[in-house]
Amino acid sequence: MAKKLVRVRRRKKKRRIRRWIVFLFVLSLLIGGGFYYVNKVYTASYEDLDRGEKSDLRDEAVDIGDDPISLLLMGVEDYSTDGGAGRADTQIVMTLDPDTKEITMTSIPRDTQVDIPAYKVGDQYAGTHKLNAAYSLGEVSGYGAEKLTIETVEDYLGIPIDKFASVNFEGFMEIVDLMGGVTIDVKEGFWERSSLDYDKKIEFEAGETTMNGEEALAFVRMRKRDVAVSYPRDERQRQFIRAGIDEALSADNLLKAGEFADILGDSVSTNLTISELYAIQKTLSSENPSTTTYTIEGQDMRLEDGLYYFVPDDGALQETKQKLQQALDITPSGSYGNTSSDPNE
């Protein structure tokens, strides 16, 4: 079968000056447009994690808008399973400090080796897995997709995850298309297969490029080409988040509130309440917030089960944990420090 080739042409577009918010693209749509349409999608998007008002690793519930908080931002691939038992292929931990206006972003590799204890999912599903599998295991075991993913990340990083937001990839593409595309300055050229058609190759040229939803998803997901070393996926994801937020907050797109609402209600899950979204909006809308990104160093290794996993460098992982603890203004002596898999300890 002849392969299809789609070349993304460079299109000049004046760069926007205010690229000061770094936040999950879809969550920005919820908060960026004010609350004209948040009420429309809130009931469909809200997901209760059945853990009360706080993470089990918190002594007290945080006051969003006053206390440093953490969020787990997830991109879920479920189109290959018809919307069921998908995998969280993109996971970014974000911290926000409303006093210092400091924001951090930490991407966790999807193939990170993690252990999921039997008391959460039963003997059938317990054991060593890739991090992105926690979402589907939580769903099929009945424990909860978001809940198991969040608790797995908490165990891995040794910090509480206070809130989350997830979006599936189908909704991602629909939102980009509704906005009329997103313009990104591509650092290095590369190609990636379309998520909609395996025989279709999408080729990106270096330079400023306007992408539709299908192209944008290929841009943020590519990880197996040679260029992925010098132009890693987490860097491309951060580029997209910045550019996507600029586009989402444009006047033309804020007028599409009702159309966005229809997509968001089917594609987004979050445990943020409307008042919490408003508090976060106030923090992110402040002048000159500081944004820092952290990278967990490590390598891909084939383990005893024959599968490849991302195995972090112990020193690098501990350093990242300490930085995130500092960002959340917590110390190793806090209650979050016990990451044992035994619920009776």
Q: Phi/psi class of residue 22: alpha, beta or left (left: φ > 0; alpha: ψ in -120 to 50)?
A: beta
Measured CA to CA, the distance from residue 237 to residue 224 in angstroms comes to: 15
Contacts of 344 (CB under 8 A, 6+ apart): none
Burial 254-290 (b: 16+ CB within 10 A, else e): bebbeebbebbbebbbbbbeeebbbbbbebbeeeebe
For the chain, 345 residues long, give each residue's pLDDT as a single digit of tens.
444 444 444 443 333 222 222 334 445 444 443 333 444 445 446 677 888 889 999 999 999 889 999 999 888 886 554 555 678 888 889 899 988 888 888 989 889 999 999 999 999 999 999 999 999 999 999 999 999 999 999 999 999 999 998 888 888 888 889 889 999 999 999 999 998 888 999 999 999 999 999 999 899 888 777 787 789 877 887 788 778 767 776 767 666 766 776 776 677 788 887 778 777 767 666 666 677 888 899 999 998 888 899 999 999 999 999 999 999 998 764 444 334 334 444
- The type of residue at 181 is G
CB count in 10 Å sphere of residue 236: 22
Return the pLDDT at 117. 95
Return the pLDDT at 240. 84
The model carries a pTM of 0.75
Could you tell me which of 319, 283, 281, 270 has the C-alpha nearest to residue 298?
319
Q: For 337, which DSSP code?
A: G
Return the pLDDT at 47. 73
To the nearest 10 degrees (0 to 180), the angle between helices 25-32 and 38-45 is: 140
Polymer length of the chain: 345
Measured CA to CA, the distance from residue 33 to residue 179 in angstroms comes to: 13
Q: Which two tokens stand for residue 9?
A: 């042409």
Return the pLDDT at 249. 64
Give the strand order in the sheet containing 163-168.
Answer: 268-270, 163-168, 69-77, 87-97, 102-107, 290-295
Contacts of 135 (CB under 8 A, 6+ apart): 74, 76, 86, 87, 88, 145, 146, 148, 149
**Segments in the chain forming alpha helices (H):** 25-32, 38-45, 118-121, 134-141, 145-157, 169-179, 213-221, 233-248, 251-254, 257-267, 274-284, 314-327
Return the pLDDT at 36. 39
CB count in 10 Å sphere of residue 228: 16
Q: Domains of the chain: which residue ranges?
A: 4-331
CB count in 10 Å sphere of residue 68: 20
Return the pLDDT at 284. 65
Return the pLDDT at 84. 55
Under CATH, which number does the domain 4-331 receive? 3.40.630.190
Measured CA to CA, the distance from residue 334 to residue 332 in angstroms comes to: 5
Cα 110 to the center of its chain, rounded Å: 11
Burial 75-97 (b: 16+ CB within 10 A, else e): bbbbeeeeeebbbbbbbbbbbbb
Measured CA to CA, the distance from residue 96 to residue 105 in angstroms comes to: 9
Return the pLDDT at 269. 82
Measured CA to CA, the distance from residue 45 to residue 266 in angstroms comes to: 7
- The type of residue at 176 is V
Return the pLDDT at 215. 95
Question: What is the sign of the dihedral through the CA atoms of 70, 266, 234 and 8?
Answer: negative
Instruction: Enumerate the β-bridge partners of residue 82.
Output: none
Question: What is the sign of the dihedral through the CA atoms of 153, 157, 161 and 166?
Answer: negative
